A and B are shown apart, each in its own frame.
Chain A
Amino acid sequence: MSISTPQQRIRAVREEYSLRETLEGYGFSVPYLLVFAAFLVYPLAYGFWMSLHDWNALFPDRTEFVGLANYQTLLADPQFWNALGNTVYFVVLTVPFLVVLSLLLALGVNRSIKGRRVLRTLFFSPYVLTVSVVGLLWQDVFETNGLIAYFTGFVAEPVNWLIDPLLAMPAVAIATIWWTIAFNFIILLAARQNVGEQLYEAARLDGATSWRAMVDITIPQMRNPMMFVVITSFLSSFQVFGQPYIMTDGGPAGATETIVMYLYRTGFSAREFGYAAAVGYVLFLVMVAVSLVNYFVLQDDGGTSA
């Protein structure tokens, strides 16, 4: 089998597959594959091609090949580093809460408390809101005479969080946590319900406290869903766009401009398409790196605790 001439291989394929079924297989696959190729694979390659050009959207014939110049300009642009730094800051502000809070909410709703169905509905409901609703609502919530100031008013002079350089990003992060925790919450709730109760009974007979049961049973049993939640939270936080776009427009003084906003601004305001495509590619590489680091760190963690 392993040593075969091309002719032998073709004969083997002919024997293994019927022509009719092969044609049907291609026929059923083609519609999806066309869309997949045209709007996922091709843009990925085309975007890289664009990033090597000084792209002129209005006069395509004035487009010039510039090699890696866009990437050089990018790496020398303090606004790019500001946007990257802001994005990392946003990730740090959101991901831990999106993971830990959703786990706590899931464990709480899993207990036999009164009204847990209402609570589940409530925690899940922001999932169906569009980012515009979330952005507009929370923009008002953070106003000087808004909901947050109403509660902080007892201890501090009310301020508009969104025009304060130190508070603007935390405000965007809080709105994001309220909005996106729903997805993680449902995933982790399902994961918790899949952990067999007999494990907890055995632990109880052994005299384990509920804290130990959580550390020794709940967390290890929910390992894969937890990993899924961590990675998807990282990826979506890295691509944050709508919330700061709507709530702050990147302000004050660029304090909340994220990497995707920078891409949007250079692409659609400045019309630097080649440059913006390069920003997209850098973001892509950063995200692949983050996914790999995540994967190995989480793997490693399992090794030490097991």
Chain B
Amino acid sequence: MSTVRSTLNETIGIDETRLRKFGVYVAMYGAGILFFLPYWYMATQSILPRNLIFDRNPHLIPPAVTTTWYEQLFAAAPMVQWIINTIILAGGVTVVVLVIDSMIAFALTRLKWPGRRLVFVTILASFMIPAVVNLIPIYTIISSLGLLNTYIGVILPLSGGALGVFLLVQFFKDFPKELEEAAQLDGFSTVQIYAKLILPMMKPAMTALALFTFISTWNQFVLPLVLLQSESMYTLPIGLVTVRDAYATTSQPGLVMASALTASIPLLVLFLALQKHLIRAVELQGTVE
């Protein structure tokens, strides 16, 4: 049957595998264009002059360009301040998570103490808790601690996640016991084994966790939205929405697109520079089962 078909194809001059390959190219590049167009649209809308931006059809190739939206944006909104705020918050969570997660992962994998299995199972079970369930009680708790509108009040609730502990445990437990024993013979204390042996050897895992934590905190929306209340404290994601709302009545798509593009650039640059590590960070999460 298949020989009949292949001879038929040979006589018409079309190779079936080549035809299929062509189909794959069309589908993949088609999808690529669909993924790319929104970026292109965001960029072109942000540089279109006012008289063109409301035209019935969008100008995918701008006939004229302007920087006026960016000038207005930076004059009207503290974009740089928001970027700094977001770096403080994301950096703060990343540091806290790396320190406390690596410490407990070390205790769970390299030290013998009663109750460690129960502790690990409890941490794993917390995967079942959806973040938003705790939104109201966390607001109330942070409020009664007097930590509303402070970064520490946002950093702490974002630092207790189980994912980092789980990831690091997977790596720490495979660390060769002989190296640890050799270090003990050399007179290393437990703290030294943690700080001078395990941590340096676990750099790839720590880097992946750091990247993942930084990006997911950078993009946090609902918790900063309810916990931070003054404009000078806002993170970028919250600030952007207030820019849009401030101009909602007059509707300034150019300005809004300029703000969106400006906000995406820091992480897109980070993404392009560290893509390999980031892919690794996501892949690791696929092993959480």
Contact = CB atoms under 8 A, between A and B. Distances in A.
Contacts of B161: 40
Interface in A104-147: 104-105, 108-109, 111, 113, 115-116, 118-119, 121-133, 135-138, 140-141, 143, 145-147
A131 B24 contact: no
Interface in B123-149: 123, 126, 128-141, 143
A210 B2 CA distance: 14
Interface string B48-77: 000000111110100000000000000000
B55 A145 contact: yes
A207 B2 CA distance: 10
Contacts of B78: none
Given A22-B113, A105-B28, A228-B286, 15 more contacts: A25-B112, A28-B106, A41-B126, A43-B134, A44-B137, A47-B133, A124-B278, A145-B55, A145-B56, A225-B286, A264-B222, A268-B139, A276-B136, A283-B133, A287-B130
A147 B128 CA distance: 39
Contacts of B210: none
Given A239-B132, A291-B128, A132 B156 contact: no
A39 B157 contact: yes
Interface residues of B, number: 99
A138 B256 CA distance: 11
A147 B44 CA distance: 11
A264 to B, nearest CB: 7
Most buried by A among B35, B103, B237: B35
Contacts of B139: 267-268, 273
B176 interface: no
Contacts, number: 285
Contact of B136 (A38, A129, A141, A263): A263
A284 B21 CA distance: 46
Contacts of A22: 112-114
Nearest to B128: A288
Interface in B191-229: 194, 215, 218-219, 221-222, 226
Interface in A252-302: 260, 263-264, 267-268, 273, 276-277, 280-281, 283-284, 287-288, 291
A33 interface: yes
Interface in A169-192: 178, 183, 186-187, 190-191
A43 B139 CA distance: 9
Contact of A133 (B29, B103, B260): B260
B94 interface: no
A242 B221 contact: yes
A42 interface: yes
Contacts of B268: 125, 128-129
A47 to B, nearest CB: 4
Interface in A1-43: 13, 16-18, 21-22, 24-29, 31-33, 35-36, 38-43
Contact of A281 (B133, B215, B275): B133
B266 to A, nearest CB: 9
Given A273-B140, A284-B130, A40 B135 contact: no
B136 A224 contact: no
Given A36-B126, A228-B288, A263-B136, A25 B24 contact: no
A276 to B, nearest CB: 5
B103 A145 contact: no
A59 interface: no
Contact of B58 (A104, A145, A225, A276): A145
SS class, residues of chain A in contact with chain B:
helix
Contacts of A136: 240-241, 244, 256-257, 259-260
B275 A121 contact: yes
Given A118-B32, A126-B35, A128-B271, A31 B237 contact: no
Contacts of A288: 128
B267 to A, nearest CB: 4
A150 interface: yes
B286 A47 contact: no
Q: Top 4 closest A-B pairs, CB basis?
A: A25-B113, A28-B107, A43-B137, A47-B137
Most buried by A among B143, B157, B260, B288: B260
Most buried by B among A122, A227, A288: A122
A303 to B, nearest CB: 18
